Amino acid sequence: MTSREYVAGLFDLTGHVGIITGASRGLGLGQAKVLTDAGATVYNLDLAPHSDEEAIRKGHMTDIVCDVTEYEQVQKAVEEIAAKEGHLDFLINNAGITFKCRAEEFPEERLDKIMEINLKTPLMIAKICYPYLKESEYIGRIVSISSMAAYMGFTGVLPYDMTKAGILGLTRGLAEEWKNDNILVNSVAPGWFLTKLNEDMFEQNPDRKAAALSKPMLPRFGRPVEIGYMMLFLLSGASTYLTGHDFTVDGGATSHGF
């Protein structure tokens, strides 16, 4: 075997089956493109099917339309995937929301929804997937999306900051509890990526776009596939001794001095 064949084998996900929540666009869709190009079979659990024409043409993933906060729907979807494929090897908790409002004025109903989707739902779906992941022949993997907001304070999005910091606790706690169950648990913290969500925000506030570009060491926004590359590593044979950690993909934003 040549060195090139060895490396290619490490990152070959042919035969791996997994779920990404909220992968109809943005970071989730970028992850799906990378993982399916590496051979994985990916299912997108989302309220709406993805609309990326290139992704549809290439068959990047299969949509299962469901509300990820309705856990009976998720349970049914996971059972159907496992029955069809015969196994489940990874879960990526990607779905998340935010709402911009100062802390002293933050509406309780918005707070509850952000807490539910960003923090409660990753745990609940991990619980649903647990009996299947622990039987994976490739080692089961759970990777959740945290954020640089888990490390840095951002004005007007306190519940988002709270829940993304909570993902770090969820990751470490599950990694510890399931360490003997054939499951590795990690998280990935994106920095500024030019997704539709951020594009809409920057359109409303051009000054924020300039401010965001000043934060990373690298003076550009990330591309969604660059989160996909980190996911590929964390699902591959190259990361079998990694669990309980958060991996920052932010262009150096959280390390940037002045």
Active-site amino acid positions: 160
Give the N- to C-terminal CA distance of the chain in Å, as an integer.
47
Give the number of other Cβ atoms within 10 Å of residue 246's Cβ. 18
Q: Give dist(CA 142, CA 130) in Å, integer.
A: 9
Distances (CA, A) of 163 to 20, 35, 97, 209, 234: 19, 26, 10, 23, 22
User: Per the structure block, which two tokens stand in for 73?
Assistant: 């729907």
Contact 129, 88 (CB under 8 A): yes
Q: How far apart are CA 63 and CA 23, in angstroms?
A: 9
Q: Give the other-Cβ count within 10 Å of 118's Cβ.
A: 25
Amino acid identity for residue 228 in this structure: G
DSSP E strands in 105-240: the ranges are 140-145, 183-190
